[in-house]
C-alpha cells in the first residue's frame, strides 16, 4: 500500500515537472531521446539493418537538434542585443505596426518577402 503511494507520488511529481518545461525544451528532450532510441528501434524492426540505415535517421534527428539550437541561440542573441540597444519591446512594435497605414504595411511585407527570397537564392547559390 505504501509502495503504491510512493510510486503514485513520484509519478505526479514527474508529470508536474514535465508541465513546467517549455514546449521547445520538451521537443529538444524528445529529439535527444529519439537520438538514443532510433538505432535500437531499427535493430528491433529489422534484424538485417546495417549501420548506414540507422545513420540516415540519426542524421535527420541531428539536423533537427542543430536547427533548434541555432534558432534558440539566434533568439537569445536578438533579445540581448535588443535590450542593450534600448529599443522598445517587440510587443510594442507589433502594436505600432498594426496602427500603420495599409500601404506601409504592404511595403513592409514586400520588403520582408524580398529579403527572404534573396536569402533563399543565397542558400541555393552556396549549395550549388
Q: How many whole angstroms separate alpha carbon 10 and alpha carbon 16?
A: 10
Q: In this predicted structure, what is the pLDDT of residue 111?
A: 93
Phi and psi at residue 57, to the nearest 5°: -70, -35
- Check whether 73 has a pLDDT greater than 80: yes
- Check whether 71 has a pLDDT greater than 90: no
Q: In this predicted structure, what is the pLDDT of residue 9?
A: 60
Which 3-state string (H, E, C) describes the chain? CHHHHHHHHHHHHHHHHHHHCCHHHHHHHHHHHHHHHHHHHHHHHCCCCCHHHHHHHHHHHHHHHHHHHHHHHHHHHHHHHHHHHCCCCHHHHHHHHHCCCHHHHHHHHHHHHHHHHHHHHHHHHHHC
Q: Is 65 within 8 Å of 28 (Cβ atoms)?
A: yes
- Check whether 115 has a pLDDT greater than 90: yes
113 pLDDT band (50/70/90 cuts)? very high
Q: In this predicted structure, what is the pLDDT of residue 17?
A: 60
Amino acid at each position: 500500500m505504501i509502495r503504491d503511494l510512493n510510486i503514485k507520488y513520484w509519478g505526479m511529481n514527474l508529470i508536474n515537472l514535465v508541465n513546467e518545461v517549455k514546449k521547445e525544451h520538451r521537443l529538444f528532450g524528445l529529439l535527444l531521446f529519439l537520438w538514443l532510441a532510433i538505432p535500437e528501434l531499427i535493430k528491433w524492426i529489422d534484424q538485417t539493418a546495417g549501420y548506414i540505415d540507422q545513420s540516415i535517421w540519426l542524421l535527420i534527428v541531428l539536423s533537427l537538434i542543430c536547427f533548434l539550437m541555432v534558432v534558440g541561440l539566434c533568439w537569445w542573441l536578438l533579445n540581448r542585443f535588443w535590450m542593450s540597444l534600448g529599443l522598445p519591446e517587440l510587443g510594442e512594435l507589433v502594436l505600432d505596426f498594426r496602427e500603420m497605414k495599409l500601404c506601409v504595411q504592404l511595403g513592409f511585407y514586400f520588403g520582408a518577402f524580398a529579403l527572404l527570397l534573396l536569402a533563399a537564392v543565397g542558400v541555393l547559390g552556396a549549395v550549388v
